[in-house]
A and B are shown apart, each in its own frame.
Chain A
């Protein structure tokens, strides 16, 4: 298919662009295969480059022959284009619609993007599972790498390499896979160096209504317990939901079969409920007319912050089991690809200082989201303005990022990255020139040959010039476990992402700049003083030597 076929009108002059907090810009609108470009053709005004894949929905309306297209983006921005000429406007609108809903992944921009920067480190190889495992292997010999899923035959949503208890062989893993939803047998998610406790994750056990059991499964998870120790199973579903799942062949770990494990049910919501929550929240944020009370009730009605609180609470609980109770934890919901990953990754943010560094956080996303098979392609296909109610879309990853932001807000000096880093990840998960978030699993990414055909986001982000945008100037390495508050008073709306386009951030940006200046100046002085001290010390020794004879 040629993009040219989809572009009915490639270029329109005298188009006026309206954006909040910016003066209107008149210029020429161009459509390319992947971008919508508006350029005023003047030197001093910036051009608008918008990825078609960032477009969530469009509205059009006409006043006489002047057409208006309202473009709603996946990053929640809304822009308006006034296009002279009804035909041009209709052509542009239908072209945008077609180009923003391409049906083949291989037509997406990452397959066409040619980087303009020199790749110093190929991000596709930055976080290899073997390397990650090496971090653990010095501390423990109870775990091993398994290649049982090499051809993605045992579990289609798992990566080829997983970490499992050493005492369990691949044959047992294959059996366990048949007993777990989607073949997602329990694997290691996190090893707590301090006391050797672990977080494992999996899909739900397929007990069904007649209480099926699987000896290998029991053996596998018991193999992670120390002698005489008990563990916790955290089911991210309420007991009710978990019980209902049995009718569909799913279920949960029965006490009778897992006597060494205590089960705790939490209730983290799933797909469409989360998606509706996001839609309501963004709608409330965009509504400029309501009064103060309506704002709060709309915020409440969206339930977004309720989800945040529930997810964070569950993650804290898991971290607490590990660090305070000294007990290992197995976490799952139904599939083990959404709420499970929110909990396992947030627990690591709380427990492990490394995951609060930039590299560590990237590794965490690579490990706990991409490799772990969170279906990014499905979940991020549409955002807050979607009107086609498909079942698979859900802001699961955005909720995770929001939770990280909440912890960052409470511990502003404990993270190496800043809020912009989280916003950048959100943007790239929904629309990107990089291949990192394409596909739903490692097996899909392999089939698409993303490593060969597209660029990794990490190759770009980890350049020093990019990193400096995302580095938190307040960071002081903190080796402690950080316990966030989950009280409603402590969990505000993430304005940086939800009100980003609805308020001017000028004064806040200035404050950030000032903060950077204060710290930079201090470092500069520190360096100067150190040099002078050394000079002085050397001179004084010389002096002493001269005087001594």
Chain B
């Protein structure tokens, strides 16, 4: 029973209705539509959808008939500050000349929902050639002449087959046995992987800028609107909204743009035996985009690299229910929530492992839109060895700054608690002593009493004997600090019943932990890992 409760609670941790509320919806321009209840209009969309207020059910249904897989334009992200929005859909079934009044009205409605701008960007994330080829099959892209007040833009992100091959090539490079630097760099270049990452980032940056700087709404689509569209919408949202750069916000982002909008997890990640041509590292690329951003904005994200790697791992692991099936409809039919656990709850429970120590909610990098340099620098995008060589521990930095800083912060927190506790106890003892002296020698002065009662000022009111210490502490060097703690430790050892001792030994082991965290040569702590590392390194030097 407890299990069941825990499972249910896990599934309500991330709540999309609340997320739309957080965006500021519904409002005068956007409303929740029930047109897709029971998945009547589009079976790969969720039931909960936000559409412009002026888009009637007639317009929606008409538009859906003019879009691949009936994925009509709906809201993905609403930017409160200026009413601009990011909408998503699939390609229009325009062929060479077809048009659809309702679809045109739908785009009008999106434009009208943003009083600050007189046009809407339509971003087709495919290469122009691919989009044109689709016209022969009765699909294609929006004709600017038919839609009033749109600005149409191609951003060439390659299709899932190109991406699959690209990853394959890059992984082959990663698996080379002692490659030369040239082998590696050539292989990385030939894989085209970083070029594709850049293309996705460029699209996200374009949209984020359109929304935040031009105040224009954007409609994004590719072919079906569930791969490149998901990548680009989520990158843009992440750039725009600091909430998505927090632990919970990131879960929400994946839940919204990927899971609810019918990204085909089963097909893309080969969860079931299926068509190998459907497999493609689409969300992997999004996750890498986030890592690339983390490298450039080290204080902007609440989570760390490990968080991304674990999410990526579980997308393939099928251990949790979140990434099963291809759509919300399928998940409901299979009663996934009643039969599996949610990854989000698991990650949330262990969230201390995933925190970025450099994140501070009040830091300037944490606020507002992330501004990438206006001139595109290609060298910004780097090979992610933490992901693609994650099992070769020897290739990773041997000492983790993140872990080190987390340990320091943890210790800091303990120290804060201890400090408070010590201050309290000091105050108590001083009171008792004062009382004693009052009783014994009857020399107490009332003014002193009032001083001790102010707990905040206990430091300032310490007896004269110790004030020398107080004066010296700000200029104290850390090594002196260490001497001090050693001194205290021996004193405490004499009084083993003192609860202070436990606090002290905790701290000592904390320090030891830190040094254990640096598995450099492992001379005095020959852990298996470091031993292995060394051996493999030696092999490398000898063969090289």
- Closest B residue by C-beta to A498: B379
Closest Cβ–Cβ distance, residue B170 to chain A (whole Å): 11
Of the residues A296, A305, A528, A530, contact of B194 by C-beta under 8 Å:
A296
Question: Given A295-B378, A487-B392, A510-B364, does the pair A480, B522 have CB atoms closer than 8 Å?
Answer: yes
Provide the bound-state CA to CA distance between A310 and B422, in Å: 56
How distant is the Cα of A336 from the Cα of B46 in the complex, in angstroms?
71
A488 / chain B contacts, CB cutoff of 8 Å: 179-181, 183-185
Give the residue of A480, A502, A531 whose beta carbon is less than 8 angstroms from that of B521.
A480
Given A300-B181, A411-B399, A536:B379 Cβ within 8 A: no
CB distance from A398 to the nearest CB of B (A): 17
Of the four ranges (under 10, 10 to 19, 20 to 34, 35 or more), the interface on chain A belongs to 35 or more
Instruction: Determine the residue in chain B with the shortest Cβ distance to A482.
Output: B520
A487 adjacent to B408 (CB under 8 Å): no
The distance from the CB of B201 to the nearest CB of chain A, in whole angstroms, is 10
A411 and B379 contacting across the interface, CB-CB below 8 Å: no
Complex contacts, A523 vs chain B, CB 8 Å: 478, 481
B409 touches A288 (CB 8 A): no
CA separation between A292 and B202, bound complex, in Å?
Answer: 12
B188 near A296 (CB under 8 angstroms)?
Answer: yes
The verdict on A317 contacting B541 (CB below 8 Å), with A480-B521, A529-B418 known, is yes
* Closest chain B residue to A480, Cβ basis: B521
* The one of B184, B380, B389, B469 that contacts A535, using a Cβ cutoff of 8 Å: B469
Residue of B nearest to A528 (CB): B419
Nearest CB of chain A from residue B76's CB, rounded to whole Å? 27
A151 at the interface (CB under 8 A from B): no
Interface membership of B349, Cβ < 8 A: no
Which of the candidate stretches A134-142, A254-262, A540-548 sits at the interface with the other chain? Answer: A540-548
In whole Å, how far is A491's beta carbon from the nearest beta carbon of chain B? Answer: 7
Q: Which of A463-510 contact B (CB under 8 A)?
A: 474, 476, 478-493, 495, 499, 502-504, 507-508, 510
* A300-328 vs B, Cβ < 8 Å mask (1 yes, 0 no): 10010110110001001100100010000
| Given A317-B542, A411-B399, A537-B492, A290 and B378 contact (CB-CB distance below 8 Å) | yes
A102 within 8 A of B: no
- Please indicate the chain A residues that have their CB under 8 angstroms from the CB of B405 in the complex: 515, 518-519
Smallest CB separation, A195 vs chain B (Å): 12
Complex alpha-carbon distance, A523 and B540, angstroms: 40
On chain A, the residues within 8 Å of B416 by CB distance are: 525
Query: Which residues of chain B from 457 to 483 have a CB within 8 Å of any chain A CB?
Result: 462, 465-466, 469-470, 473-474, 476, 478, 481
Consensus secondary structure, chain B interface: helix
Q: Which residue of A lies closest to B389 (CB)?
A: A489
Interface string of A333-349 (1 = CB under 8 A from B): 00000000000000000
Q: Mark A188-230, 1 if CB is under 8 A from B, else 0.
A: 0000000000000000000000000000000000000000000
- Cβ-based interface call for A539 (8 A): yes
- Looking across the interface, which residue of chain B has its beta carbon closest to that of A503? B377
CB of B405, distance to nearest CB on chain A (Å): 6
Render B466-505 as a binary contact track against A, CB cut-off 8 A, 1 for contact. Answer: 1001100110101001001101100110010010100010
User: Are the C-beta atoms of B515 and A476 separated by less than 8 Å?
Assistant: yes
A526 to B514, CA, bound (A): 16
Asked whether, in the complex, the Cβ of B373 is within 8 Å of the Cβ of A526, the reply is no
Question: Does A285 interact with chain B (Cβ within 8 Å)?
Answer: yes
User: Is A511 among interface residues, defined by CB-CB distance under 8 A?
Assistant: yes
Chain B 363-375, CB-CB to A under 8 Å as 1, else 0, gives: 1110000000101
The reply to whether the CB of A522 lies closer than 8 angstroms to some CB of chain B is yes
Contact A535 B426 (CB under 8 A): yes
* Cβ-based interface call for A413 (8 A): yes
- Chain A residues 255-305 with CB under 8 Å of chain B are 285, 288, 290-297, 299-300, 303, 305
B527 at the interface (CB under 8 A from A): no
The yes or no answer to A514 lying at the interface (CB within 8 A) is yes
Which residues of chain B from 529 to 544 have a CB within 8 Å of any chain A CB? 533-534, 537-538, 540-542, 544
Is B398 among interface residues, defined by CB-CB distance under 8 A? yes
**A136–chain B nearest beta-carbon distance, Å:** 21
Can you name the residue of chain B whose Cβ is closest to the Cβ of A310? B544
Contact indicator A305/B181 (Cβ below 8 Å):
yes
Set A291, A299, A536: member contacting B425, Cβ < 8 A: A536
Residue in chain A with minimal CB distance to B412: A522
Residues on A with beta carbons closer than 8 Å to the beta carbon of B180: 306, 309, 488
Contact check: which of A292, A295, A303, A507 meets B299 at CB < 8 Å? A507
Alpha-carbon distance A478/B399, docked complex (angstroms): 11
CA distance A300 to B382 in the complex (A): 14
B453 interface residue per 8 A CB criterion: no
User: Looking at the complex, which one of A293, A309, A483 makes contact with B189 (CB distance below 8 Å)?
Assistant: A293
Question: Footprint of B on A, CB under 8 Å?
Answer: 285, 288, 290-297, 299-300, 303, 305-306, 308-309, 313, 316-317, 320, 324, 409-414, 474, 476, 478-493, 495, 499, 502-504, 507-508, 510-511, 514-515, 518-519, 521-540, 542-543, 546
Q: A503-B379, A527-B474, A537-B488 are in contact. List 14 more A-B contacts (CB 8 A).
A: A303-B181, A303-B182, A316-B541, A317-B541, A324-B538, A413-B404, A485-B540, A486-B544, A502-B377, A510-B363, A526-B481, A526-B485, A531-B470, A532-B426
Which residues of B pack against A, CB within 8 Å?
174, 178-186, 188-189, 192, 194-195, 198, 296-300, 357-358, 360, 363-365, 373, 375, 377-383, 385, 388-389, 392, 394-399, 401, 404-405, 408-409, 411-412, 415-416, 418-419, 422-423, 425-426, 429-430, 432-433, 436, 462, 465-466, 469-470, 473-474, 476, 478, 481, 484-485, 487-488, 491-492, 495, 498, 500, 504, 514-515, 518, 520-524, 533-534, 537-538, 540-542, 544
